[in-house]
């Protein structure tokens, strides 16, 4: 049961081949037995999961089941869950139990999903390897010495190790797509504003976007159907209707115009990945697509631009963690200043502190114009690159990452780590939708093909990904040793 | 050396919205601490702000009332600093793109001239919570401070003037005019004692004739007109003494203690925070189109200046009376009801400004909680007008009505007593029956033949004095109930 897609699970549940309770018990048992190896969950919630499974079974028997009734998934521990500890993988929130659900959690619950627990991640979603978690690193089921990517590394590892059918993730600079690529999964970052950010703990508010991580494009469409939509509680959410993303999956790709940015195939890209990506694109051509080279001239500015804007927003977003109202508080503060400084010194990890410092610096008097304002100008240029490109093409394709997964501890230089996100970051700066699908293997490690769409063209991306997955079986391969 | 004072104001004004600027919590004053703070106000992780449209509407109303342009696209920014009563660690406010642009308010000076005070801009922002230090706790608090977040997120507009005022009197005149405008717009309750309007005064001095500004200080959080005046006067004399003694004014923030009448420095500019403002990514820019602005403009209530001119023209009030009566919308409305119902605007103005105001002050009540309603006061004035009672009797009736109103209070609406009932209860009818008065006058004239003879022989001046004697006797005989006008008329005839 544990290697089935959501689409297959829904069929099995509908045909009464198994109940959600059985399915949930099965997954819970696997987590119990296997997750010590991967560390993909921070919190497992068996009682709540079984309760949800039973009510999904009941709803199904009564004929009023939601679209995802009984499907066991996991939430990244950045989504607030009412009554369930939500840590953001930080010591700062190790004791934090929110009295509310994130909108994404509410919407998926209304669709009937069963939440098995909360997955590991980089602390406050700051990282590309899941090594910054207060709860320890996550292992990649494909290569147990290696990282699953980040920051949604726990969600990726949990799906790849078949410890849930799918999971939610968040993507600020590649945090859904990069771990999806490194763990052989489908991961979609929707258009900024497509999915509500309410209750999703903020890293960089103008870049953060929640999305599905799944075994297939079809599953991603099913999850996105439930997750997307306007939310009056999020002023930046888009007030436009949500199409049925499964309705267009089967459209043929004849005449589809794919752009290959020359900047995405240059220096720094692993030759093996380049080869695999070209093979995948050849597959799309066979399906009827035409390919042309395009240019996104400001690509090399994306990483530096991001590392001004994201830390700037983060420095303010993380100010609320001050030990006054909730979360970690240092022992015996001598005065207010001591309370603040020790709470934050002890409660945050190094990468989080690094980014708060960078963000504080770039917003400071005398530096604002040189850094923050300049980065905003660059951000507009990056967006214009994409807008211009989409005049000529329907979808932009390229590698998701420059390298396959690397060993835990292998990259210690922060800048080298930041450059692992070189192909994903610009998408967040522009607010565009993009997904990563498995497109081959390098040294037996999965690699991803990234497809970038125009604003609100999630349907097109999922359509292309689904057609690719109908013609290939990379997405159906299971990590060695996962049974 | 002659010194000139230069004053600019920053005013923080709470808007009278039902809920907070970015959350649905109530803004009502006086609830138990932290009972009006929800997850958003507490800055719980993942929560997001949603702008209260009523606050935007109120800011637009203010802008239109002071002749300012409304920014078609204003934006919120984050002002970063740590303090326990600031839950997010930043205040959401406006800086580069405030909603209200440059405007002005005209004030009247004591010499009757008018002065224009320019407003630099006004912007929307959220209020912080309150820190309650040791003093506020009963019993043993061991140096702890409490935080009450009920106020956190209350919508404010901050109004920033140009440094156009030249004396404490001008600053107070501006503050009062501003208060009159915003209360007539009903965009704030204007209750300064509860912090609804808080004034920061920027004060500097310079040699008379100089056009260079001196170094200014900012005295923060003044919450009464009297404190504004006292704090400015104190600061001006401090600065003059300092400079005349060869010292220099340091740019600093100061606090004025209205009880002790002293001020002290809080922090200097060097210690000031770098607030690291940047656009708030959680809120979209606030777009206001012309249609919205024109709709709001069409619905604006009459503003104090226009009302004042109308009161002068329609009711024949003096400039001073019109000024006083239009200082507050509730007062103006009250007066206008009394004037219309009674048909005696001048009497109405006198009664509202003298008797009623005195009683309200004495009982620490504001006009909207007056124990005598406008219709009741009009009823009293009607009885003066139709000579049922004299002015003196009316005061007696007024006091009874006032006491009754205070005793029964607002809970028993029907218990408000009418002037007619009091007049009846006290048996206070003015005697206007000519026959009855003639009889009393005859009796008194007959009983005082000497004075009558003296009167007839006397010149104009002496006659007046003697007339007073007769009137006094007659009023005494009638127990004060004789209509004084009639008494005069009949007496003069009798004494011919």
Q: pLDDT, tens digit, for every residue of A312-337? A: 999 999 999 999 999 999 999 999 99
Between the CA of residue B469 and those of B444, B451, B462, B465, what are the distances in Å?
A: 10, 9, 11, 7
DSSP 8-state symbol, B192: G
Please judge whether B284 and A98 are an interchain contact, meaning their C-beta atoms are less than 8 angstroms apart: no
Q: Is the ipTM of this complex over 0.90?
A: yes
Q: Two tokens at A187?
A: 């991961």
Question: Of the candidates B58, B64, B67, which has an alpha carbon nearest to the alpha carbon of residue B157?
Answer: B58
**Has residue B417 got a pLDDT over 80?**
no
| pLDDT tens sequence across B63-117 | 999 999 999 999 999 999 999 999 999 999 999 999 999 999 999 898 889 999 9
Gap between the Cα atoms of B249 and B238, Å rounded = 9
- pLDDT value of position B412: 43
Is the per-residue pLDDT at B495 higher than 90? no
Q: List residues bridging with B26 in a β-sheet.
A: B19
pLDDT value of position B134? 58
Find how far residue A391's CA is from the centre of its chain. Answer: 28
Question: Strand A186-189's sheet: what is its strand order?
Answer: A41-44, A114-119, A72-76, A166-170, A210-214, A186-189, A434-442, A445-453, A395-399, A257-261, A290-294
Alpha carbons A112 and B295: distance in angstroms, whole number: 46
B276–A336: do the CB atoms touch at under 8 Å? no
Decide if domain A6-256+459-476 falls under CATH 3.30.2010.20. no
Where do the domains of chain A lie?
6-256+459-476
Per-residue pLDDT band at A210 (split at 50, 70, 90): very high
Evaluated on CA atoms B77, B217, B130, B179, the torsion sign reads negative
Nearest to A326 by CA among A60, A37, A97: A97
Q: How far is B48 from chain A (nearest CA, A)?
A: 6
Domain-ending residue, one of B378, B410, B426: B426
Six token digits for residue B188:
């704030």
Q: Does residue B414 register a pLDDT over 50?
A: no
CA–CA separation, B402 and B408 (whole Å)? 10
- With a CB cutoff of 8 Å and minimum separation 6, the contacts of B221 are B198, B199, B200, B255
Instruction: Select the residue of A99, A232, A321 nearest B39 (Cβ to Cβ).
Output: A99
Q: Which of A189-193, B267-271, B349-353, B435-439 has the lowest mean pLDDT?
A: B267-271
- Three-state SS at B115: strand
Answer yes or no: do B18 and B52 share one domain. Answer: yes
| Better-scored residue on pLDDT, A392 or B138 | A392
Contact B274 A336 (CB under 8 A): no
Contacts with A204 from chain B: Cβ below 8 Å: 281
Alpha carbons A220 and B354: distance in angstroms, whole number? 77
Distance CA A56, CA A115 (A): 12
Give the pLDDT band (50/70/90) at residue B411: very low
CA–CA separation, B455 vs B63, rounded Å? 69
Cβ–Cβ gap A100/B39 under 8 Å: yes
Q: What is the pLDDT of residues A228-285, one digit of tens each?
A: 999 999 999 999 999 999 999 999 999 999 999 999 998 899 999 999 999 999 999 9
Picking from A232, A318, A372, the nearest residue to B278 by CB comes out as A372
B283 and B314 within one domain = no
CB contact under 8 A, A98 and B45: yes
Contact B46 A319 (CB under 8 A): no
Q: Which residues, in sequence order, are bridge partners of residue A396?
A: A259, A452
**Res. B141: pLDDT tops 70:** no
| Percent composition of chain B: helix, strand, coil (DSSP 3-state, to 5) | 45, 20, 35
The β-bridge relationship of strands A257-261 and A445-453 is unpaired
Nearest to B154 by CA among B99, B194, B185, B122: B194
Q: Closest Cα to residue A245, out of A224, A270, A273, A216?
A: A224
Catalytic residue status for A175: yes
Interacting residues of B2 by C-beta distance below 8 A, sequence separation 6+ = B207, B208
Q: How far is CA A193 from CA A76, A428, A432, B471, in A?
A: 19, 11, 10, 87
Residue of A40, A128, A151, A436 marked active site: A151
- CB-CB under 8 Å, A235 with B283: yes
Residues ≥6 apart with Cβ < 8 Å to B172 = B225, B228, B229
CATH number of the domain encompassing residue B444: 1.10.10.410
Total length of chain A: 483
CA angle A198/A204/A209 to nearest 5° reads: 50
Mean pLDDT of A122-141: 97
Question: Nearest chain A Cα to B92, which residue?
Answer: A316
User: Kind of pairing, strands B155-161 and B3-14?
Assistant: antiparallel
Task: Provide the pLDDT for residue B140.
Answer: 56
Q: Provide the shortest C-alpha distance from residue A323 to chain B (in Å).
A: 9
- Tokens 């051509």: give the residue: A285
Residue A305: its pLDDT value, please? 98
Q: Is B277 left (phi over 0), alpha (psi -120 to 50) or beta?
A: beta
The pLDDT value recorded for residue B413 is 47
- Tokens, residue A241: 């209707």
pLDDT tens-digit series, residues A388-426: 999 999 999 999 999 999 999 999 999 889 988 999 999
Residue pLDDT, tens place only, A353-364 = 999 999 999 999
pLDDT at B474: 86
Q: Are residues B69 and B198 in the same domain?
A: yes
Share of chain A above pLDDT 70, in %: 100
Residue B197 CA from chain centroid, whole number: 11
Assign B226 to helix, strand or coil: helix
A76 assigned to active site:
yes
On whether the CB atoms of residues B152 and B158 are closer than 8 A, the answer is: no
Please report residues of B whose CB lies closer than 8 A to that of A80: 44-46
B284 CB within 8 Å of a chain A CB = yes
What SS3 string covers B377-423?
A: HHHHHHHHHCCCCCHHHHHHHHHHHHHHHHHHCCCCHHHCCCHHHHH
Between the CA of residue A94 and those of A116, A348, A374, A452, what are the distances in Å? 19, 11, 37, 36
Same-domain check for residues B151 and B255: yes
Q: What is the pLDDT of residues A72-103, one digit of tens each?
A: 999 999 999 999 999 999 999 999 999 999 99
Q: Tell me the residues of chain B between 2 and 21 that have a Cβ less than 8 Å away from chain A.
A: none
Over residues B102-117, the pLDDT tens digits come to: 999 999 898 889 999 9
| pLDDT at res. B168 | 97
In the three-class reduction of DSSP (H, G, I as helix; E, B as strand; rest coil), residue B425 is classed as helix
The encoded tokens of residue B400 equal 């009874």
Q: Do A206 and B281 touch (CB under 8 A)?
A: yes
Q: Is A67 a catalytic residue?
A: no
Query: Encoding tokens for residue A280?
Result: 């995948």
pLDDT of residue A461: 98
User: Does the beta carbon of B271 lie under 8 angstroms from any beta carbon of chain A?
Assistant: no
Q: Are residues B257 and B150 in the same domain?
A: yes
Task: Say if residue B146 is in the same domain as residue B105.
Answer: yes
Q: Say yes or no for a CB contact (<8 Å) between B45 and A364.
A: no
Q: Which of B243, B262, B294 is the last residue of a domain?
A: B294
Q: Between chains, do B284 and A235 touch, taking CB under 8 Å as contact?
A: yes
Find, in chain B, the residue whose alpha carbon is nearest to that of A79. B46
> How many domains is chain B built from?
3
**Both structure tokens of A115:** 């939440």
Q: Which helix (H) or strand (E) holds B33?
A: none
Q: Which residue of chain B has the CA closest to A314? A: B281
CB proximity B80 to A under 8 Å:
yes
Beta bridge partners of B7: B165, B203
Interface test with A, best of B42, B46, B56, B134 (most A CBs within 10 A): B46
Crossing angle of helices B449-457 and B484-495, rounded to 10°: 80
| Chain A residues closer than 8 Å to B49 by CB | 235
Residue B77 and residue B174 share a domain: yes
A469: closest CA of chain B, how far (Å)? 35
Shortest distance, CA A355 to any CA of chain B (angstroms): 15
Distance CA A206, CA A193 (A): 9
pLDDT of residue B405: 66
Partners of B155 in beta bridges: B126
Q: Looking at residue A154, what is its pLDDT?
A: 98
Q: pLDDT tens for residues B430-459?
A: 777 788 888 888 888 888 888 888 888 888
d(Cα A380, Cα B391) in Å, to the nearest integer? 77
Model confidence band, residue B494 (pLDDT cutoffs 50, 70, 90): confident
Which positions ≥6 away from B354 have C-beta within 8 Å?
none
Give the domain extent around B476: 434-495
B278·A100 Cβ contact <8 A: no
Q: What count of CB pairs under 8 Å joins A to B? A: 102
| Cβ contacts of A99 on chain B, cutoff 8 Å | 39, 44
- B439 in the same domain as B416: no
- pLDDT score of B90: 98
Phi, psi of B214 (to 5 degrees): -80, 175
Same domain as B457, residue B324 = no
Beta pairing, strands B155-161 & B114-126:
antiparallel
Mean pLDDT of chain A: 97
Both tokens of A102, joined, read: 């994130």
Catalytic residue, chosen from A175, A216, A237, A315, is: A175
Nearest chain B residue (CA) to A238: B284
Q: Closest chain A residue to B51 measured between Cα atoms?
A: A235
Query: Would you call B371 an interface residue with chain A, using a CB distance cutoff of 8 Å?
Result: no
Q: How confident is the model at residue B426 (pLDDT cuts 50, 70, 90)?
A: confident
> Please, what is the end-to-end C-alpha distance for chain A in angstroms?
11
Give the distance from residue B280's alpha carbon to the nearest chain A alpha carbon, in angstroms. Answer: 8
Pick the residue from chain B with its C-alpha nearest to A80.
Answer: B46
User: What is the per-residue pLDDT for A49?
Assistant: 98
Average of per-residue pLDDT across A166-195: 98
> Does the pLDDT value for residue B142 go beyond 80?
no
CA dihedral (A326, A332, A337, A338) positive or negative: negative
**CA A396 to CA A175: how far, in whole Å?**
19
3-class SS letters over chain A = CCCCCHHHHHHHHHCCCCCHHHHHHHHHHHHHHHHHHHCCEEEECHHHHHHHHHHHHHHHHHCCCCCCCCCEEEEECCECECCECCCCCCHHHCCCCCCCCCHHHHHHHHCCCEEEEEECCCHHHCCCCCCCCCCCCCCECCECCECCCCCCHHHHHHHHCCCCCEEEEECCCCCCHHHHHHCCCEEEECCCCCECCCCECCCCCCCCCEEEEECCHHHHHHHHHHHECCCCCCCCCCCCCCCCCCCCCCCCCCCCEEEEEHHHHCCCCCHHHHHHHHHHHHHHHHCCCEEEEECCCCHHHHHHHHHHHHHHHHHHHHHHCCCCCCCCCCCCCCCHHHHHHHHHHHHCCHHHHHHHHHHHHHHCCCCCHHHHHHHHHHHHHHHHHHHHHCCCCCEEEEECCCCCCCECCCCCCHHHHHHHHCCCHHHHHHCCCEEEEEEEEECCEEEEEEEEECCCCHHHHHHHHHHHHHHCCHHHCCCCCCC
């Amino acid at each position: 049961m544990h290697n089935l897609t959501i689409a297959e699970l829904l069929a099995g549940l509908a045909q009464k081949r198994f109940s959600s309770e059985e399915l949930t018990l099965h997954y819970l048992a696997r987590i119990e037995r296997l997750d010590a190896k991967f560390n993909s969950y921070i919190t497992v919630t068996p009682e709540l999961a079984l309760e949800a499974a039973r009510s999904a079974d009941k709803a199904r028997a009564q004929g009023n089941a939601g679209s995802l009734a009984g499907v066991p998934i996991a939430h990244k521990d950045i989504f607030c869950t009412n009554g369930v500890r939500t840590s953001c993988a930080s010591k700062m929130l190790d004791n934090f139990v929110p009295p509310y659900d994130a909108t994404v959690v509410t919407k998926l619950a209304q669709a009937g999903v069963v939440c098995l627990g909360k997955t590991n991640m980089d602390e406050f979603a700051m990282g590309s390897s899941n090594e910054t978690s207060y709860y320890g690193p996550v292992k990649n089921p494909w290569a147990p010495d290696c990282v699953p990517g980040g920051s949604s590394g726990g969600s990726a590892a949990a799906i790849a190790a078949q410890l849930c059918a799918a999971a939610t993730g968040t993507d600020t600079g590649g945090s859904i797509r990069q771990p999806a690529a490194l763990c052989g999964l489908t991961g979609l970052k929707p258009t900024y504003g497509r999915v509500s950010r309410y209750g999703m703990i903020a890293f960089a508010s103008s870049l953060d976007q929640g999305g599905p991580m799944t075994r297939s494009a079809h599953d991603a469409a099913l999850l996105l159907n439930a997750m997307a939509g306007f939310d009056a509680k999020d002023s930046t959410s888009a007030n436009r209707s949500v199409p049925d993303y499964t309705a267009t999956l089967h459209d043929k790709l004849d005449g589809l115009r794919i752009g290959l940015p020359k900047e995405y195939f240059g220096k720094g890209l692993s030759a093996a990945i380049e080869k695999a990506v070209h093979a995948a694109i050849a597959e799309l051509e066979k399906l009827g697509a035409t390919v042309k080279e395009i240019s996104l001239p400001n690509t090399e500015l994306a990483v530096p631009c991001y590392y001004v804007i994201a830390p700037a927003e983060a420095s303010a977003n993380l100010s609320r963690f001050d030990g006054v109202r909730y979360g970690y508080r240092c022992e015996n503060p001598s005065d207010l200043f001591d309370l603040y400084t020790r709470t934050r010194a002890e409660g945050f990890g190094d990468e989080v502190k690094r980014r708060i410092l960078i963000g504080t610096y770039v917003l400071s008097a005398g530096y604002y114009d040189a850094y923050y304002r300049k980065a905003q100008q660059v951000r507009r240029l990056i967006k214009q690159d994409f807008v211009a490109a989409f005049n000529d093409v329907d979808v932009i394709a390229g590698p998701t990452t420059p390298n396959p997964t690397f060993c835990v501890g292998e990259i210690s230089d922060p800048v080298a780590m930041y450059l692992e996100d070189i192909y994903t970051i610009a998408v967040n700066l522009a607010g565009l939708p993009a997904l990563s699908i498995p497109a081959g293997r390098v040294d037996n490690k999965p690699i991803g093909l990234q497809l970038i769409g125009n604003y609100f063209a999630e349907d097109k991306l999922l359509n292309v990904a689904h057609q690719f997955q109908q013609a290939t079986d990379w997405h159906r391969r299971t990590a060695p040793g996962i049974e | 050396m002659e010194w000139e004072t230069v004053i600019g104001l920053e005013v923080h004004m709470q808007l009278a919205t039902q809920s907070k600027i970015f959350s649905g919590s109530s803004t009502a004053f006086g609830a138990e601490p932290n009972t009006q703070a929800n997850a958003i106000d507490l800055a719980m992780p993942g929560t997001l702000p949603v702008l209260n449209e009523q606050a935007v509407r109120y800011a637009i109303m203010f802008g239109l009332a002071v002749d300012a342009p409304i920014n078609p696209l204003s934006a919120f920014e984050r002002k970063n600093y740590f303090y326990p009563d600031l839950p997010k660690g930043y205040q959401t406010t406006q800086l580069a793109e405030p909603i209200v642009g440059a405007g002005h308010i005209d004030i009247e000076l004591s010499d009757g001239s008018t002065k224009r005070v320019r407003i630099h801009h006004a912007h929307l922002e959220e209020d912080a919570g309150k820190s309650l230090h040791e003093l506020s706790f009963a019993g043993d608090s061991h140096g702890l401070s409490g935080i009450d977040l009920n106020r956190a997120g209350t919508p404010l507009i901050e109004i920033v003037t140009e440094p156009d005022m030249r004396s404490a009197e001008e600053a107070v005149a501006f503050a009062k005019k501003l208060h009159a405008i915003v209360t007539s717009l009903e965009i704030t309750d204007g209750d300064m004692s509860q912090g609804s309007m808080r004034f920061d005064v920027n004060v500097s001095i310079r040699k008379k004739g100089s056009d260079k500004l001196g170094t200014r200080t900012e005295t923060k959080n003044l919450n009464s007109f009297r404190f504004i005046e006292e704090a400015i006067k104190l600061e001006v004399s401090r600065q003059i003494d300092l400079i005349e003694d060869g010292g220099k004014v340091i740019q600093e923030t100061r606090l004025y203690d209205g009880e002790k009448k002293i001020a002290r420095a809080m922090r200097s500019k060097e210690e000031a925070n770098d607030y690291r403002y940047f656009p708030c990514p959680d809120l979209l820019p606030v777009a206001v189109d012309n249609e919205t602005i024109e709709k709001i403009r069409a619905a604006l209530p009459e503003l104090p200046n226009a009302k004042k001119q109308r009161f002068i023209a329609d009711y024949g009030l003096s400039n001073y009376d019109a000024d006083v009566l239009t200082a507050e919308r509730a007062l103006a409305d009250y007066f206008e009801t009394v004037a219309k119902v009674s048909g005696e605007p001048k009497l109405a103005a006198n009664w509202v400004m003298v008797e009623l105001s005195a009683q309200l002050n004495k009982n620490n009540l504001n006009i909207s909680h007056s124990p005598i309603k406008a219709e009741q006061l009009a009823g009293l004035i009607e009885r003066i007008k139709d000579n049922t009672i004299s002015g003196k009797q009316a005061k007696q009736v007024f006091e009874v009505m006032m006491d009754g109103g205070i005793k029964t209070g607002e809970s028993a609406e029907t218990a408000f007593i009418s002037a007619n009932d009091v007049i009846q209860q006290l048996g206070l009818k003015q005697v206007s029956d000519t026959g009855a008065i003639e009889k009393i006058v005859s009796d008194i004239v007959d009983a005082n033949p000497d004075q009558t003879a003296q009167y007839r022989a006397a010149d104009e001046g002496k006659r007046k004095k003697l007339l007073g004697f007769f009137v006094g006797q007659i009023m005494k005989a009638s127990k004060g109930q004789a209509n004084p006008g009639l008494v005069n008329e009949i007496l003069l005839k009798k004494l011919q």
